Amino acid sequence: MTEQHSHQFERGTDGPKVIVAGVDGSDSSLRAAAYAAGLARRQHALLAVVYVQPVLAAGAALGAPVAGTTDEIAEDLVAQIRDAAERLKGIFEVRWEFQTFRGDPYNGLVKAADELKADAVVVGASEQAGHRIVGSVAVRLVKAGRWPVTVVP
């Protein structure tokens, strides 16, 4: 007696189509973006580089122009990413876009990943000591269990 197996094959390619990389200007987040760029290149995926602009309570800002500061950070990150992309042009072709969201980093990245229909999320490991107790954005993203999450040291 022979056993017949019917297999259905998916059309297209396997692997992620949209990879979200969370950046905040820290060294680990920039390494995460570079790692995500390599994944996007190999998978022919779109790299969505996301910066979440923090929203602080009025009293927490102590009169500092926080919105202007976070806009400057976003502009600086875009400039750094464009410079890196320009240096690699012709060697590595990666489709990428830069997006900013407002809010706390965790909720901002969740919103970005949902809106962009991310297949994977890449973030840098937290560089803040307090996160070992409270839990980092990366740990919270992993616990959410909604996408594969890569944490880059």
pLDDT at 111: 93
Residue given tokens 């890196």 in the structure block: 84
Number of domains in the chain: 1
What is the distance in angstroms between the CA of the first residue and the CA of the last residue of the chain? 54
Q: Dihedral of the CA atoms 98, 17, 125, 56 (nearest 10)?
A: 40
CATH code of the domain containing 140: 3.40.50.620
Q: Is residue 85 part of a domain?
A: yes
Instruction: Enter the pTM of the model.
Output: 0.73
Distance CA 71, CA 49 (A): 15
Q: Is residue 102 part of a domain?
A: yes
Q: Is residue 48 part of a domain?
A: yes
Q: Is residue 10 part of a domain?
A: no
Q: Is residue 141 part of a domain?
A: yes
Distance CA 149, CA 123 (A): 8
In terms of residue numbers, what domain contains 56?
Answer: 18-151
Q: What is the largest CA-CA distance in the chain?
A: 81
pLDDT in tens, 4-23: 544 444 444 566 799 999 98
pLDDT in tens, 28-63: 888 898 899 999 988 999 999 898 887 765 545 455
